[in-house]
Amino acid sequence: MSQAHLLVVEDEVRLLNSLCRGLGEAGFAVLSAGSAEAAARAVADGEFDAIVLDLRLPDRDGLELLRELRAAGNATPVLILTARGALDERVAGLDSGADDYLAKPFAFPELIARIRALVRRRGATPQPILRIADLEFDTIKRRARRGSHELNLSPKEAMLLELLMRNAEQTVTRAMIAETVWGAGYNDFTNLIEVFVNRLRQKIAGAGGEPLIATVRGVGYAMRHVR
């Protein structure tokens, strides 16, 4: 962990210096970039265990850079660190391929903990393609397929499917779904979760075979394959 290599992309010089100093003191090897183009060159020249990415960059939006990395097949974990903290902005970041999202102002210990979690996952066996039975989900391209049938999923349905597949054979609680798919803006008095689970279940079943998503009464849902 002490030798994990980070790329920090931030154009505000004082904050960039503070991030590099603090992350260095936490044991990371840090390379900085003040623009999207500088970040793209850094990624092309070497490998990183994680990228900390601001969105408001001087040459172009950070989300554009993130989408380009994912489209090129780069699966380096990315933590977005930005002043854009609204729910729709967090969803846009995650839908574009970010692994985590932290809004400014932030607590430095939380940033370090989140980066360490990303680096630990980076060290695990990568799983860009999730599979259960004949259902596949490409976590980079954000596409799902069952057999020869591609599923037409909305961004939130894709987030829900990924959550269920990453926790296959385990119960995913309503609270976990609310936090992952809708974040802090979720209203407990709505039936959005039920609506989205039913839509996803129908699309999976409509492509053939069992629906795969089981209801765990009073708790949540589980992705299960009856062999």
Q: What is the pLDDT of residues 210-219, one digit of tens each?
A: 779 999 988 8
Amino acid at 67: R
Question: How far from 127 is each of 67, 87, 179, CA to CA, in Å?
Answer: 19, 27, 22
Residues 203, 218, single domain; the answer is: yes
Q: Over 50: is that where the pLDDT of 186 sits? A: yes
pLDDT tier at 226, thresholds 50, 70, 90: low
At 227 the pLDDT is: 55
Residues 49, 85, single domain; the answer is: yes
Residues 43, 87, single domain; the answer is: yes
Q: Over 50: is that where the pLDDT of 157 sits? A: yes
> Who's near 47: CB < 8 A, 6+ residues apart?
5, 76
Average pLDDT, the chain: 86
At 184 the pLDDT is: 58
Global pTM? 0.56
> Where is the domain boundary, 92, 123, 154?
123
Residues 18, 117, single domain; the answer is: yes
44 token code pair: 């092309």
Q: Is the separation of the CB atoms in 20 and 32 below 8 Å? A: yes
Residues 93, 171, single domain; the answer is: no
Residues 83, 167, single domain; the answer is: no
Residues 85, 104, single domain; the answer is: yes
Q: What is the DSSP letter of 183?
A: G
Domain span at residue 203 reads: 129-223
> Where is the domain boundary, 67, 91, 123?
123
